[in-house]
Amino acid sequence: MGLIQESIDLAINGNRRELARLLSSIESGARIPLKTSKPWVLGVTGPPGVGKSTLIGTMIDEWVSRGEKVAVLAVDPSSPKSGGALLADRMRMSSADSSKSVFVRSLATRNHPGGLIPFLDSMINLLSLCGWSRIIIETVGSGQSEIRIVAFADRVMLVDGPDRGDIIQAEKAGIMELADLIVINKSDLPNALNASNSIKNSFSYSEKDSNKMVLLTSALNNEGISDLINEIERLKINNERNSLRMKERLLSAWDYLLLSNPSFNEILLDLESGKINLDEALGRL
């Protein structure tokens, strides 16, 4: 216990190696005794290929220029062989770990349903205690992970490209309703303005979403980044999502308990062979 507290104290005092070790311990399932903090967390989601990581890199530069310390938890797809993070997102963040004011950590989904591991909450709390004033979670941007981001982030930003097809998929997933603001990245490409106007028009039919911001950015040309940061800073926490947030946290923890059950694989084999039926499998679990 004393060694853990010593490690925590070192991390809080700026020791990045100890911080990395503690994050690894949390990711491995260790329970680290931490004081409760009030972290500032932005969830960034959206389909692959829209430039989320590059955009986050330019946002980091802007925040650092304003005196903020920025930490990023980039949830990458898992390697099918090792189970580790593929690190693709980190490679596209030009400012990753480039100064004492930036900390980037890649996390593997470990094939967890929803793409977000339940330990994110403890990781976020630790980063906040260590003085990181802006914490960003970037999801793999597909399926349930887009919805589950609300479990860990009190601000949600949906990033999309000029392709209207991606936005339609976002509408189907329900993430547009949950997002606090929508960013059309790659605004230097054709159809970006049309995509932005199309979203604004769809929001105009809903009184609840009529004031939701839709912004154009070009991470490549560093355009619209300062305005984006200003709008994010002005966002008010949506307390109406508290119930949904707790539900998604509970589901995330429940999924983990199910998959980490020591009898899980044995039960799967018995279910596959026909030795037991689904009700019996549930009973054993």
Identity of the residue numbered 92: R
Q: Where are the beta strands (DSSP E) in 79-120?
A: 102-108
102: pLDDT strictly greater than 90:
yes
The answer, yes or no, to whether residue 87 has pLDDT greater than 50, is: no
Whole-angstrom distance, CA of residue 54 vs CA of residue 34: 32
- The rounded distance, in Å, linking the Cα atoms of 27 and 216 is 35
Is the pLDDT at 174 greater than 70, yes or no? no
Q: What is the mean pLDDT of residues 75-101?
A: 54
Question: Cα(276)–Cα(267) distance, rounded to whole angstroms?
Answer: 8
pLDDT for the residue 110: 59
Is the CB of residue 52 less than 8 Å from the CB of residue 164?
Answer: no
Average pLDDT for the chain? 81
Quickly tell me which residue has 């593929």 as its tokens: 86
Domain residue ranges in the chain: 1-33, 35-241
From residue 281, how far is each of 250, 273, 274, 275 by CA, in Å? 22, 12, 11, 10
Asked whether residue 209 carries a pLDDT value surpassing 50, the answer given is: yes
Averaged pLDDT, 200-213: 72
Q: With bands split at pLDDT 50, 70 and 90, how would you rate the model's confidence at 111?
A: low
Torsion angles phi and psi, residue 36, rounded to 5:
-80, 135
Summarize pLDDT for 134-165 with one digit per residue, the tens: 999 998 665 545 567 777 888 999 898 887 55
Q: State the pLDDT confidence band at 210, using cuts at 50, 70 and 90.
A: low
How big is the CA angle at 89 (ends 85 and 94), to the nearest 5 degrees?
Answer: 135
Q: pLDDT-derived band of residue 81, with 50, 70 and 90 as boundaries?
A: very low
Share of the chain above pLDDT 70, in %: 79
Q: Check residues 49 and 226 and name the one with the higher pLDDT.
A: 226
Residue among 128, 153, 117, 142 nearest 259 (CA): 117
For residue 71, give the H/E element and its range.
Answer: strand 70-76
Choose between 31 and 278: higher pLDDT. Answer: 278
Question: In angstroms, rounded to a whole number, what is the distance separating the alpha carbons of residues 78 and 40?
Answer: 27
Domain 35-241 has CATH 3.40.50.300: yes
How far apart, in whole angstroms, are the C-alpha atoms of residue 98 and residue 102? 7
- The string of DSSP letters for 10-45 reads HHHTT-HHHHHHHHHHHHTT-----------EEEEE
Long-range contacts at 244-250 (CB < 8 A, ≥ 24 apart): 244/150, 244/178, 245/150, 245/151, 245/154, 246/151, 248/114, 248/147, 248/148, 248/150, 248/151, 249/118, 249/121, 249/151, 249/152
Q: Which of 220, 213, 153 is closest to 183 using CA atoms?
A: 213
pTM of the model: 0.81
